[in-house]
Amino acid sequence: MKKEKVIVIGTNHAGTHSILEIANKYKDTHEVVTYDKNDNISFLGCGMALWIGGVIDSGDGLFYATPESLCEAGAEVHMKHDFKNVDFDKKTIEIEDLETGEMKTETYDKLIFAIGSWPILPPLPGHDLENIIYAKIFQNAQGAIEKIKDPSIKKVTVVGAGYIGIELVEAFKENGKEVTLINDMDVLNRYYDPNFQEMMRSNLEKNGIIMQLGETVTEFKGDGKVNKVITTKGEYDTDLVLMSIGFKPNTRVLADTGIELTPRGAILTNNRMETNIKDVYAIGDCATVYNNASNQFENIALATNAVRTGIVAGHNACGTPLEMQGVQGSNAIHIFGLTLCSTGLTECVAKSSGMEVETVEFTDLIKAAFMPENDEITVKVVWEKETKRIIGAQMASTSDITLALHFFSLAIQERYTIDKLALTDTFFLPHFNQPHNFITKAGLLALGKL
């Protein structure tokens, strides 16, 4: 029996996991071929700041797969090959060999797009000056490390106060640099409500970060190398600029192919990661996933989502039905000793989308008050007013409270209601928690608002 050919375009997190599912579990019925324009795969960008900040000695441990390991699993791997075009009717793709310049046309039975995302880089005046960098792939991290070794790089400006920007603010500060953070809004504004943003902002300021919030960069100046950042409110001397204002799906090449895209450029999929084109799938940062909190398909670019979508598409492409259970966008950050984590929707995001919500927020000790070693935790839970279903949670502490976020994530996925939270069966031991721990306490405090 002739094997079906599955072609995977893109071989980072989503693509790698899709390839491994096919190669390991369907080798008798399917062959899997992959093309990627990079020369490495599986780089864990979430560890980039740890490498740059010197927490880990090298980037070697930030890879969990190689082109060679995929080949050993049974895949046909082509690195330094750039996807150029697709003909869905003929089931063919065009690929350029970046080393030889040769164009190739390949046929497929099933096609999986794992083409990822790329940093948003606005064409501001002076954007092409030297020492303006961004953070995405392994080579970016390598370049940043080489830059900060230069003793002439004393002042670093980070533009963008999302997760990557804030993590790199800490990393540059740990390298002894004077660091300025510029953002047009507050810090982490999509992930947290104002009180939690204030905790992180105060934490950054306390650790010597110069904060310039509510400002938009309009220009870069310099003589070959950047030496000044101009904003709507001022100008700041700098030796290095890290741009981190967000990412967009890397789908421009698909704009006129007939595949359905969202207004922001993500490939629209269903819970099997199928597109509107038969036998074509999309996974990872370039695709949508179902958000259980908002009840909508959205582009939520997280490595965890990439892995799950890759697994799901791999099985469906080989004939085994498997559906995503939806996602909550669960996330966490640890900066200068402060841990913040969140899942689902914030109050601000929910209200901006037209939802009527209620919230409860409190600060309490994690363990029984008589315990000698104890830390505070701040918790906020958001629920839909009419249905009482939990749609979001945020937590902050100097202790590691992140495992509790998995409970709230599952609660959102399973449409758990806030009234049930109050009487959820949990254990009590003074070493770990209080009789009314911070999870059930959120539910108990919410009862007064129902």
Active site residues: 13, 46
Residue pair 395/401 in contact (Cβ under 8 Å)? The answer is: yes
User: What is the distance between the alpha carbons of residues 201 and 187, in angstroms, rounded to a whole number?
Assistant: 7
The alpha-helical segments, DSSP class H, found in 62-219 are 67-73, 138-148, 163-174, 194-206
The 8-class DSSP code of residue 209 comes to: P
Write the CB contacts of 2 (distance below 8 Å, at least 6 apart in sequence): none
Residue pair 290/273 in contact (Cβ under 8 Å)? The answer is: no
Phi/psi of residue 72, nearest 5 degrees: -60, -30
Give CB contacts under 8 A, 24+ apart, made by 315-319. Answer: 315/21, 315/25, 316/272, 316/273, 316/274, 316/281, 317/6, 317/18, 317/22, 317/30, 317/110, 317/112, 317/279, 317/281, 318/4, 318/6, 318/21, 318/22, 318/25, 318/26, 318/29, 318/30, 318/110, 319/29
User: What is the distance between the alpha carbons of residues 228 and 221, in angstroms, rounded to a whole number?
Assistant: 5
Residue pair 144/45 in contact (Cβ under 8 Å)? The answer is: no
Give CB contacts under 8 A, 24+ apart, made by 357-364. Answer: 357/382, 357/383, 357/384, 357/385, 357/391, 358/382, 358/383, 358/385, 358/418, 358/446, 358/449, 359/383, 360/442, 360/445, 360/446, 360/449, 361/195, 362/441, 362/442, 362/445, 364/434, 364/438, 364/441
**One-letter amino acid identity for 346?**
T
Write the CB contacts of 201 (distance below 8 Å, at least 6 apart in sequence): 186, 187, 211, 213
Q: Do the bridges between strand 289-291 and strand 280-282 make them parallel or antiparallel, or are there none, so unpaired?
A: unpaired
Give the DSSP letter string of 107-152: E-SEEEE---EEE-----TTTTSBTEEE-SSHHHHHHHHHHHTSTT
Q: Maximum Cα–Cα distance for the chain, whole Å?
A: 72
